[in-house]
Each structure stands twice: as structure tokens, then as C-alpha cells.
Amino acid sequence: MAERLRMVEAVRDTLDAELARDDSVVVYGEDVGRVGGVFRATQGLINDYPDRVFDTPVAEAGIIGTGVGLAATGMKPVAEIQFQSFLYQGFHQLAQHVARIRSRSRGTITCPMTIRMPYGGGIHALELHSESYEAGFSHLPGLQVVFPSSPAETKGLLTSAIRDPDPVIFMEPTRLYRSFREEVPDQHKIPLGEARVVEFGDDVTVVAWGSMLRKTLDAVNDVEASVEVIDPRTLYPLDTQTIVESVKKTGRCVVVHEAPKTAGMGGEITARINEEAFLYLEAPVERVTGYDVPVPLFAREDDYLPDEDRIRNGISRALEFG
Amino acid sequence: MPQEDVAQFTVRSVQVLAEDETVDDELVPELTDDQLLDLYEQMKRSRRLDERGIALQRRGELGTYAPAIGQEAAQVGSAYALADDDWLVPSFREQAALLTHGTDPEQILQYAMGMEEGAEIPGGKGALPPAIPVGSQPLHAVGIGWGEALQDRDTIAITYFGDGATSEGDVYEAFNFAGVSDSQTVFICQNNRYAISTGVEKQTKAKTLAQKAIAAGIEGVQVDGNDVLGVYRVAREAVEKARNGNPVLIEALTYRRSMHTTSDDPTAYRGHEEEAEWELRDPILRFQVFLENREILDEETEGTIDERIESELADAIDQANKERQAIDPADMFRFVYDDMPSELEQQSDAFEEGVEGDTDG
Ligand SMILES: Cc1ncc(C[n+]2csc(CCOP(=O)(O)OP(=O)(O)O)c2C)c(N)n1
């Protein structure tokens, strides 16, 4: 049975299903219990699973670090970090232990942990509530970095993330939490590491994920050319093949992300295209991204975030080159 | 002896003006009537700013706003103990403390309107911008108190954070660092009972938050945070100790009477009964009765104070709105580096021209 859910409801639905399916799953984080999280993504779960859903102290290093220990005892920690920027308070635990415990212990101790967090701008939030530090996570060997872009994608990807034997960073675009509903099948699993071709086209490839995928789809509605839109869905592992195949067909590519340009994932994707499809390129790969500045407070946030115009301009530059 | 107790501790708790309006005369701080009225006015100014802030947010004129309603005594009483050039290192709910230390309401509003301009501290007053990440700022205060000491000045830093913040590793590091560096720092933990929805009993098993100082070897003291005279008294002592390189942690027991922020609905996690109980312990009410009993405040004076606050606030709101109409979006590029790197200059130029990204020109 498929239900029409919002993204935030799809998160809840998935957590509920996984808690029911597997006694070793624990859901915890700041305010996730009694009120069900600041976005209500865990609402009500504590009533059904009072022993496996916890409110924690305000301590991100604690939330992430205890995950390593919980996992060592056979639990499957699913932690919420209230906003992506507050993961920094626990970044050392992520980088030094979560990402490395398998290799450090030569596979004897593993960390099948899922760390969910809202990320990204567009909801006029406070300072440090709008970042997307995706390249930083993708840069840490041992982690998988997942970006859902719709309610059904959320269910499919989160299910796989929780069942995965290795740690997963699950980045939930706050902007999409309540923006639309979609049919979400009951049983639904999307393998990590597989991109989705969202729209087929021949003239130019656009790669975008999370909330930027939605912006891109809106933008290409008004583009004359035939645009192929790809959602990589996971940034690590990255499905290079799907992107490269597409670029071999179109010869042109635009990468869209809201994180800053320098050292962003746009650079990585461009490099992989250069490595594997250089001779097919008819234009340099374009990047449409946030700027190399701290995400401004909300009075100027719209000027920072890529919008439909900027995406269309990027596409025109790619199309008009040469 | 195979076993002995090598250390024992107690935690002192202070109250000057009790809930039932009894006053411990010996502990009443030496303040003139004008100063007492000043404390009262500052508390009211902050209360009105918060009330208007909530209303403006509801009308879409402000972003998420974190009111300090109920915590005015803890903030005003402590900030009032500072010298003009002492540093104030706030969290995100410190309107009352900031106003007391000289920040204009207009700036607080600008920040809440999503403008970086509001985080700029005018007139060289020592204050840092609001710190949104919980518990991140006490370390800055420790650095300031250390830096002032290293330069042989007796300026101190006072820093504010909540009960939830005491769970963050940074806050432990701050207490500990302050102790070993003899930093000129006062820590004010406003224990307002909740970290968003999470009650303090889920934050710690410790009986008091003041005792968290003990492990760091610094002094910890508790005070009734709804008693402005008690807070002032304890803060005054702490500030003097800090000037001599002895950091102090003050736990002010108080209550956040309204929502965590305007995005929060407290009915989801606490009962009306509890809220009603704390309404009776309101810090402004309690102090007002004290002032009236001592014939320092009458209706006329109260009216004058209220009028002054309303007209100041109306001006501040007008002014902030005007500034908002006139913002320059390219401002976001301006303060990232002293000397703008060429990559960023390219992005900034492209932004201004509206063509971004085309590095070929
Ligand atoms: C590092 C970090 N983690 C989480 C948050 C989200 N958050 C904002 S306020 C808050 C609770 C803070 O409680 P407390 O320290 O008691 O201060 P209060 O809000 O009660 O003044 C949380 C968890 C944050 N801002 N920073």
C-alpha cells in the first residue's frame, strides 16, 4: 500500500518500520523523544518504542561518540543531529572514530550508524541553520553520504542507510520537509551508490541533489534545449558511470549545489568527467553553486542560494560555449 | 589509613528577595534608589522588546526569535555588575543582558531581521555577536579573560549560556581552561529548566549545575535567578573575584516563561500548571512589589518608564525596518577576508554583474 506523504513523514514512517523490524535499532538525539524532534520527524516514536527512542543531553560529540560504542555491542544507532552545522561539535568523533573504526579494528568492530540531519537554506532560519557541508563528509574515507530529494526517495534511501553495515550521513533538505507530498510505497529500498536519471535529454546534462534537484527541475521547465537531469542520490559512493554515460551523450554538463564553490562536490564531479569523458566534452563543465562566503543571515540568503535564474544561466553557458 | 576522604564540597545558594516578598536586609546590595529603578527599567525594556519581537515575528517582520521572558533578573542583575569596558559574551537569548550593557534595541532587531549589521558592536563596547551553536562561546570568554590578564588589565569577560549548554564538551573545557589559566571570567549559567523540550533532569544527574565548577577547581555558586537583588549581589562578588584571576560559575535558577523560540510550542512538553506556578515567581513582578513597598516606585514613575520604553522601541523598530529596506546583498562578500582573494573577487564581480560563474569574463 502506498501512502501520500511529505518528506518529514517519510522519515518518520521509515524509522517506525525499521524500529519494528529490528530490535537493535535505537533512535536518539536532542529533543527526538517527547516532542518528536524540532521538525517532528520522530513524532510519536517514543510512545511505541519507549526503550529505544531517547532524548539526549545537548552534546553532539556524545551523540556521535556513543554511537561507536552502541554499535560495538550490536546495536544499530540512528542518531539525529538537530541541524547540520551542529555536527561540527562532534566532528572529531565522526572523523576519528565513526569513519575509521572498521579499518582501525581490521573489520572486527564496525559502526552501522546512520546520522540524520536537516541541512541547507531556503527556510529563513537562524545563523548556522542553513549549511551543507557535504564535501567535508564525502572527503572522509569510511563514510557514505546520502541526499534524498523527495518523500519516496527518502524512504528508499533511509531504509538502505539504516540496514547498511557501514556508517551513513543522511542529509535531509529542510526546504523539502513539508514542501510536497508523494506516494511512498510501504516496502521500498533504494540501493546506495546508484544515481537516478530524473529527466532524459540529449543537449546537456545537469547534476543536482537534495533541494537543488527540485530547483533544477523547476528551472529546466523553461529551457528550450533537451536537458538530462541526474540525481546522484549519494555523493559517496558516487555513481560516476551514470553521469559519465550521460555526458558522453550530451557533451555538456552543469553541476548545481548550494554549498560553496571552492572544494565543493562540483569540482570532484568535474574531475571525474575529465578523467572518463574528456574527449566527449564540447564545453567546460559549468558549476552553479553557493559562493565562498559564510551562508548569510536570511535577509541576504536568497542572494546566496542558487535559484532558477542562475541554474538557467549555467545551462546557457554550457550550451552556448564554442 | 587505607581509605580517607580527601576532598569535600558544598554548594552555596543565595536569595535576597524571596518569593513571599521577605527581604534579607543584610544581603541587600548597596544600590541607590536610582540604580534600583534602573534595574527595574532594564528588565521591563527587555520584556517589552521580547513581547514586540514575538508579535513582529508573527507578522513576518522578524525571523526566528528567542525570547528571554522570565529570565530578566538573571540577565539584568548580572550585566549590571559589569564595568563599561568589561566584555559580554552572549548566547542567543541575551537581549536583557545586552541592553543592560549598552547595546541598542535596534541592533537586536536588525539581527532578528536576518541582517549581519545587527551583530556589529558599535562604540567599542566589549561584546561578541550572539553565539548560535550551544555552549560554543564560553571558551571565547575564557580567552578574553586570559588575554586581558596577560596584558595586565583587570577587564573581565562575562559569558551566558543555558542548562543544556553544560552538557557540551566545550563548556567543560571552558571551566577547566579558565581554572588553569586564571582567566578573568564569570560564567552565568541560566538554568531555565529546559533545553528546547528537554528538561534539566534529562541533561544531568547532578543536583546542581553550579557544582560543575568544582571539578575544574573554580568556585561555583547558585542564586535565585528570579531575584534581581540576589543575582546582582552574587555577580558583583564574582566580577571582583574574576578581576583577580579567580573565575566563578554562577548558576541562576530561573524559568523561560515563553517559548524556546518562535518556532517552538511549549505545550508539547510542559503543563499549564507549571507555567502558572512560575508566573507567580515572575522576576519583574517580585521586584516591583519590593520597590513599591520601599516607596521607590509609584504609579507615576511607572507610567513615565513605560512611556519611555514604548517610544524608544517604536523608534528602534522604525529604524531597523528602514535599514532592512536598504540592504546591499553584495555585503555578503565584504567581510570574509581582509584582502579579498581573487577567486572570491571573481565571484563577487560576477554576482554584481548578475552573470556569475563565467570566469572567462
Ligand atoms: C551545538 C548545538 N546543538 C544544537 C543546537 C540546537 N539548539 C538550539 S537551542 C538548544 C537548547 C539549548 O538549551 P540551553 O542551553 O538550556 O539554553 P536555552 O535555550 O534554554 O536558553 C538546542 C539543542 C544548537 N543551536 N547548537
Query: What distance in Å separates the CA atoms of residue B109 and residue B106, rounded to the nearest whole number?
Result: 5
Task: Give pLDDT, residue B34.
Answer: 98
The answer, yes or no, to whether residue A246 has pLDDT greater than 60, is yes
- Secondary structure class of A184 (helix, strand, coil): strand
Query: What distance in Å separates the CA atoms of residue B226 and residue B214, rounded to the nearest whole number?
Result: 24
Task: Give pLDDT, residue A261.
Answer: 97
Mean pLDDT of B5-26: 95
Residues of A near B (Cβ–Cβ under 8 Å) read 30-31, 34-35, 38, 55, 57-62, 85-86, 88-89, 124-129, 261-262, 286-289, 291-294, 296-301, 303-304, 310, 313-314, 317
The residues that bridge with B191 in the sheet, in sequence order, are B253
The answer, yes or no, to whether residue B119 has pLDDT greater than 80, is yes
Give pLDDT tens digits for B330-351: 999 999 999 999 999 999 999 9
Give pLDDT tens digits for A187-196: 999 999 999 9
Alpha helices in chain A (DSSP H): 7-21, 45-48, 60-72, 91-93, 101-104, 134-138, 151-163, 210-220, 240-250, 265-277, 301-304, 308-320
Contact yes or no for B134 and A58 at CB 8 A: yes
Query: A36, A82 in Cβ contact below 8 A?
Result: no
> Which DSSP state fits B212?
G
The answer, yes or no, to whether residue B359 has pLDDT greater than 50, is no
Task: Nearest by CB to A38, from B133, B169, B196: name it.
Answer: B196
> What separation in Å is there between the alpha carbon of B168 and the centre of ligand 1?
10
Contact yes or no for A292 and B344 at CB 8 A: yes
Cβ B192 under 6 angstroms from ligand 1? yes
- Secondary structure class of B226 (helix, strand, coil): coil
Ligand 1, atom 7: closest residue by C-alpha: B134
Give pLDDT tens digits for A259-295: 999 999 999 999 999 999 999 999 999 999 999 999 9
Instruction: With cut-offs at 50, 70 and 90, classify the pLDDT of residue B360.
Output: very low
The sheet carrying A234-236 orders its strands as A53-55, A25-29, A76-80, A114-119, A168-173, A144-146, A234-236
Alpha helices in A181-264 (DSSP H): 210-220, 240-250
- Helix A7-21 / helix A151-163 crossing angle, nearest 10 deg: 30
Ligand 1, residues A55, A58, A63, A174: which to mutate, most atoms within 8 A of Cβ? A58
- Secondary structure class of B304 (helix, strand, coil): helix
Enzyme catalytic residues of A: 129
Query: What distance in Å separates the CA atoms of residue B193 and residue B28, rounded to the nearest whole number?
Result: 26
Query: B115, A299 in Cβ contact below 8 A?
Result: yes
Task: Give pLDDT, residue B124.
Answer: 58
Give the ligand 1 atom nearest the CA of B92.
21
Which string of b and e fits A284-319 if b means at least 16 CB within 10 Å? bbbbbbbbbbbbbbbbbbebbbbebebbbbbbbbbb
CA nearest neighbour of A31 among A18, A21, A43, A16 = A43
The answer, yes or no, to whether residue B181 has pLDDT greater than 90, is yes
Give pLDDT tens digits for A141-187: 999 999 999 999 999 999 999 999 999 999 999 999 999 999 999 99
Give pLDDT tens digits for A117-131: 999 999 999 999 999
Task: Give pLDDT, residue B355.
Answer: 55
Mean pLDDT of B268-272: 95
> Which DSSP state fits A232?
-
CA nearest neighbour of A150 among A9, A261, A276, A291 = A9
Give pLDDT tens digits for B156-176: 999 999 999 999 999 999 999
Q: Name the residue type at position A148.
A: P
Query: B317, B113 in Cβ contact below 8 A?
Result: no
Task: Give pLDDT, residue B361.
Answer: 36
Query: A210, A154 in Cβ contact below 8 A?
Result: no
Q: What is the DSSP string of B123-138?
A: GG--BPPP--STT-SH
Instruction: Count other Cβ atoms within 10 Å, centred on residue B261.
Output: 18
Query: A149, A214 in Cβ contact below 8 A?
Result: yes
Mean pLDDT of B254-276: 96
Give the ligand 1 atom nearest the CA of A30.
23
Cβ B199 under 6 angstroms from ligand 1? no
Instruction: Count other Cβ atoms within 10 Å, centred on residue B225.
Output: 31
Instruction: With cut-offs at 50, 70 and 90, classify the pLDDT of residue B147.
Output: very high
Ligand 1, residues B161, B196, B251: which to mutate, most atoms within 8 A of Cβ? B196
Give pLDDT tens digits for A226-241: 999 999 999 999 999 9
CA nearest neighbour of B286 among B356, B246, B357, B231 = B231
Three cell numbers, residue B298:
509609584
Query: What distance in Å separates the CA atoms of residue A13 and residue A19, rounded to the nearest whole number?
Result: 10
Instruction: With cut-offs at 50, 70 and 90, classify the pLDDT of residue B180.
Output: very high
- Secondary structure class of B344 (helix, strand, coil): helix
Return mean pLDDT, chain B.
95
- Helix B72-79 / helix B283-293 crossing angle, nearest 10 deg: 60
Query: What distance in Å separates the CA atoms of residue B279 and residue A202, rounded to the nearest whole number?
Result: 66
Taking every pair of Cα atoms in chain B, the longest distance, rounded to a whole number of angstroms, is 83
Task: Give pLDDT, residue A50.
Answer: 97
The answer, yes or no, to whether residue B55 has pLDDT greater than 70, is yes
Return mean pLDDT, chain A.
97
Query: What distance in Å separates the CA atoms of residue B156 and residue A54, rounded to the nearest whole number?
Result: 39
Task: Supply angle C-alpha B283, B272, B96, rounded to 5.
Answer: 30
Q: How large is the ipTM?
A: 0.95
Query: B75, B160 in Cβ contact below 8 A?
Result: yes
Cβ B193 under 6 angstroms from ligand 1? no
The answer, yes or no, to whether residue B182 has pLDDT greater than 90, is yes
Give pLDDT tens digits for B83-118: 999 999 999 999 999 999 999 999 999 999 999 999
Cβ B171 under 6 angstroms from ligand 1? no
Task: Give pLDDT, residue B121.
Answer: 75
Bridge pairing between strands A286-290 and A25-29: unpaired
Tell me which residue has cell 562536490. A265
Give pLDDT tens digits for B288-319: 999 999 999 999 999 999 999 999 999 999 99
Tell me if the bond preceding A237 is cis, omega within 30° of 0: yes
